[in-house]
């Protein structure tokens, strides 16, 4: 499929025998594509990192939509890189195997048995399902973990919890890691061959030990290392909300930092914002936290004037 074919596939071309209503619909669709042209020009040849997770990975309609969106990006000259999560799938498998799950500060404590399941589910199942969806939609995707080409170098993550009138408590999370380096040559080589990389957030240290890493953190590290133009984090909420639960459409990195410091954001949004700040500090132009429950959310954010979700800038 050529770039022109990809654009044609986005709308139904009317024929002379069509009704006026059908002709108008075709004209409206053609007008939308023309309006996309400045955005396509802006992002052509640039890298976009997308963290794929939440309901967008579960709902069948959204899964198909996401795969088609990624393929369209590739055909119009954008270089998408996908980093995916898989927490619910891991939890389901652990339950089936009667392996108890424990969470500390939102992180899954990962012993050796749990790590085996994490790697099996993320790399062997979830990753390949995403690759298959993209390939079936007309793209060329290849699945990777941090072990492939030593793509994700990691080290053991230390978690310190502050306590009143006592030294911080150091919690052993087991095989939970954090990124120390991304080997960009692996990704550059694949992308240069027209391949869409799909990355499972499993890293490896200098001794070859395997670590379970938060997918948001991996996406941020990949975006920074690749000097991506955009990082998109797909979530199950509209974006960053203020104290009145109203969507904050735009924030500077300073405002995002202050929101964390003042406790204006809570729960899972804190590590997402921290990931955004790290990516921007590493050179990513803008980061978007967007609602993955919205069909074609990535295209809406990139190729329309209104956009969706929360935009975080330098």
Query: CATH number for the domain including 102?
Result: 3.40.1160.10
Identify the residue whose tokens are 């044609």: 8
* CA nearest to 289, candidates 54, 46, 39: 54
Does residue 230 sit within a domain?
yes
**Pair 247, 241: CB distance under 8 Å:** yes
Q: Residue 43 has what pLDDT?
A: 95
- At 102-121, the pLDDT tens digits run 887 778 889 999 999 999 99
Does residue 68 sit within a domain?
yes
**Mean of the per-residue pLDDT values for the chain?**
89
Q: Residue 262 has what pLDDT?
A: 85
User: Mean of the pLDDT values across residues 173-186?
Assistant: 94
Q: How far is CA 175 from the centre of its chain?
A: 22
Q: Residue 26 has what pLDDT?
A: 77
Q: Residue 224 has what pLDDT?
A: 95
Does residue 182 sit within a domain?
yes
Q: Residue 9 has what pLDDT?
A: 53
pTM of the model: 0.88
Percent of the chain exceeding pLDDT 70 equals 94
- At 222-267, the pLDDT tens digits run 999 999 999 999 999 999 988 888 899 999 999 999 988 888 887 7
Does residue 31 sit within a domain?
no
Q: Residue 41 has what pLDDT?
A: 93
Report the number of distinct structural domains present in the chain. Answer: 1
Does residue 76 sit within a domain?
yes
- Beta strands of 202-309 (E only): which ranges? 202-204, 210-212, 230-235, 250-252, 286-291
Domain interval for residue 145: 46-313
- At 50-90, the pLDDT tens digits run 999 988 898 999 999 999 999 999 999 999 999 999 989 99
Does residue 34 sit within a domain?
no
For the cut 60, the answer to whether the pLDDT of residue 8 exceeds it is: no
Rounded to whole angstroms, the Cα distance separating 121 from 94 reads 10
Q: Residue 159 has what pLDDT?
A: 80
Does residue 5 sit within a domain?
no
Which residue pairs from 55-61 have beta carbons closer than 8 angstroms and sit at least 24 positions apart in sequence? 55/236, 55/292, 55/293, 56/234, 56/292, 56/293, 56/297, 57/84, 57/85, 57/86, 57/126, 57/130, 58/88, 59/293, 61/295
Q: Residue 1 has what pLDDT?
A: 57
Extract the tokens encoding 193. Answer: 């061959």
User: Mean of the pLDDT values across residues 123-144?
Assistant: 97
Phi, psi of 310 (to 5 degrees): -110, 130
For the cut 80, the answer to whether the pLDDT of residue 216 exceeds it is: yes
Q: How confident is the model at residue 17 (pLDDT cuts 50, 70, 90)?
A: low
Q: Residue 158 has what pLDDT?
A: 85
Does residue 32 sit within a domain?
no
């Amino acid at each position: 499929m050529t770039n022109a074919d990809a654009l044609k596939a986005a709308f139904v071309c009317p024929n002379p025998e069509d009704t006026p209503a059908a002709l108008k619909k075709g004209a409206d669709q053609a007008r939308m594509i023309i309006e996309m042209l400045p955005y396509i020009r802006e992002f052509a040849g640039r890298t976009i990192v997308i963290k794929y997770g939440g309901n967008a990975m579960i709902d069948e309609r959204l899964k198909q939509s996401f795969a088609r969106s990624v393929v369209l990006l590739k055909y119009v000259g954008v270089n998408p890189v996908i980093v995916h999560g898989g927490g619910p799938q891991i939890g389901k498998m652990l339950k089936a195997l009667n392996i108890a799950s424990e969470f500390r500060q939102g992180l899954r404590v990962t012993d050796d048995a749990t790590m085996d399941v994490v790697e099996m589910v993320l790399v062997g199942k979830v990753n390949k399902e995403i690759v298959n969806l993209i390939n079936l939609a007309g793209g060329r995707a290849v699945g990777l973990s941090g072990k492939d080409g030593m793509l994700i170098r990691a080290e053991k993550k230390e978690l310190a919890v502050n306590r009143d009138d006592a030294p911080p408590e150091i919690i052993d999370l087991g095989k939970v890691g954090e990124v120390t380096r991304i080997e960009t040559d692996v990704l550059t080589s694949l992308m240069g061959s027209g391949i869409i990389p799909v990355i499972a957030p499993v890293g490896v240290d200098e001794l070859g030990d395997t670590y379970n890493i938060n997918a948001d953190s991996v996406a941020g590290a990949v975006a920074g290392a690749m000097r991506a133009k955009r990082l998109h984090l797909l979530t199950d909420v509209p974006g960053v909300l203020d104290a009145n639960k109203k969507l904050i459409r735009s924030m500077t990195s300073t405002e995002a930092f202050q929101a964390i410091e003042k406790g204006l954001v809570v729960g899972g949004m804190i590590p997402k914002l921290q990931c955004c700040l790290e990516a921007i500090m590493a050179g990513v132009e803008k980061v978007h936290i967007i609602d993955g429950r919205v069909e074609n959310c990535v295209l809406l954010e990139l190729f329309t004037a209104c956009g969706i979700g929360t935009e975080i800038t330098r």
